[in-house]
Amino acid sequence: MEPPADAGRERPLLEARNISKFFGAITALDRVNFHLARGEVLGVVGDNGAGKSTLMKILSGLHAPSEGEIVFDGRPVRFTSPRDAREVGIEMVYQDLALAGNLPIYENIYLGREPGPRLLGMTVVDRRKSRTMAKDHLDRLKIHVKSVDQNVEELSGGQQQAVAIARATAFDARIVIMDEPTAALAVKEVGKVLDLIKGLKEHGVSVILISHRMDDIFYVCDRVMALFHGRNFADATLADTTRNEVIGWIMGTRGHTDSLAHDRVH
């Protein structure tokens, strides 16, 4: 589905209001606000420990917020597990990918959600169907692997990242959250992952991309938000900011954009 032309102005697909998260004495998030439109690619930046992963774990149902509310498509929601978030179409690709290395690609894509008839509460896995569906899905995403029977541990870092993204998008995801998907990749593989993100956007899927790499952010994102010490620090469309300004946000400084006007991205 194509994202509507006025994607930025309509009701957000996902919104979080006044989210706080306490881990014992640590305040990981302090009244954070967040919004995401349909088909929008949002970059999330911030220094180590700024709260990026924690916020995304809350939006994907892994952590419950200590305070605040989440609104999905206009309705307040309370996720008690990633399964709840997945049910409304929110999927997260974790920093450590969470793939099963000793299993083939096609099994990783459907892990725990295999196609096939249900019998006595268990799914009778239809391997042939699952293999074909995996192959079709990878083709749609333009992900090339030798065979879906290959074990994931035999793949390069970029291919593993692609399988993790394929897994996240196998069931009509509406929002895919990616936590530093390019951090461990070689340059050539980074481009492929970023192009996958562009492909998802073209299909109307919203993407949240946590990244420390300005090249990634400025290549794929529509907007960027910065957290600093667990708080909202800045938020701007890419057209309204510069790499240097965003780097400043990560360090907790603002301004100086006029002197950097030549660096503006249009």
74 beta partners: none
77 beta partners: 70
Residue 237 binds ligand ATP (CB under 6 A): no
Residue 181 binds ligand ATP (CB under 6 A): no
Residue 161 binds Mg ion (CB under 5 A): no
104 beta partners: 151
Residue closest to Mg ion, measured at CB = 53
| Region of residue 231 (phi > 0: left; psi between -120 and 50: alpha; otherwise: beta) | beta
Residue 53 binds ligand ATP (CB under 6 A): yes
* Tokens linked to 17: 């209001």
223 beta partners: 42, 237
Residue 53 binds Mg ion (CB under 5 A): yes
Residue 48 binds ligand ATP (CB under 6 A): yes
Among 43, 51, 104, 181, binds ligand ATP (CB under 6 A): 51
238 binds, among ligand ATP, Mg ion, none (CB under 5 to 8 A by kind): none
The radius of gyration computed from the CA coordinates of the chain, to the nearest angstrom, equals 19
Q: How far is the CB of 138 from ligand ATP (least distance, A)?
A: 28
* Cβ atoms of residues 34 and 56 within 8 Å: no
> Alpha helices of 171-236 — where are they, by DSSP H?
187-202, 214-220
182 binds, among ligand ATP, Mg ion, none (CB under 5 to 8 A by kind): none
N residues, the chain: 266
Which window, 8-16, 46-54, 81-89, 96-104, contacts ligand ATP (CB under 6 A)? 46-54
Residue 46 binds ligand ATP (CB under 6 A): yes
* Tokens linked to 174: 């509406």
* Tokens linked to 240: 């309204």
Task: Between 47 and 126, name the residue whose CB sits nearer to ligand ATP.
Answer: 47
Task: Between 63 and 131, name the residue whose CB sits nearer to ligand ATP.
Answer: 63
Task: Between 116 and 252, name the residue whose CB sits nearer to Mg ion.
Answer: 252
DSSP secondary structure string for all residues of 238-251: GGG--HHHHHHHHH
Residue 160 binds Mg ion (CB under 5 A): no
Residue 50 binds ligand ATP (CB under 6 A): yes
- How many whole angstroms separate alpha carbon 81 and alpha carbon 38? 23
Residue 26 binds ligand ATP (CB under 6 A): yes
C-alpha dihedral over 22, 28, 32, 35, to 10 degrees? -110
Task: Between 53 and 211, name the residue whose CB sits nearer to Mg ion.
Answer: 53
Residue 211 binds Mg ion (CB under 5 A): no
**Chain residues 171-190 in contact with Mg ion, contact rule CB under 5 A:** none
Residues that bind Mg ion (CB under 5 A): 53
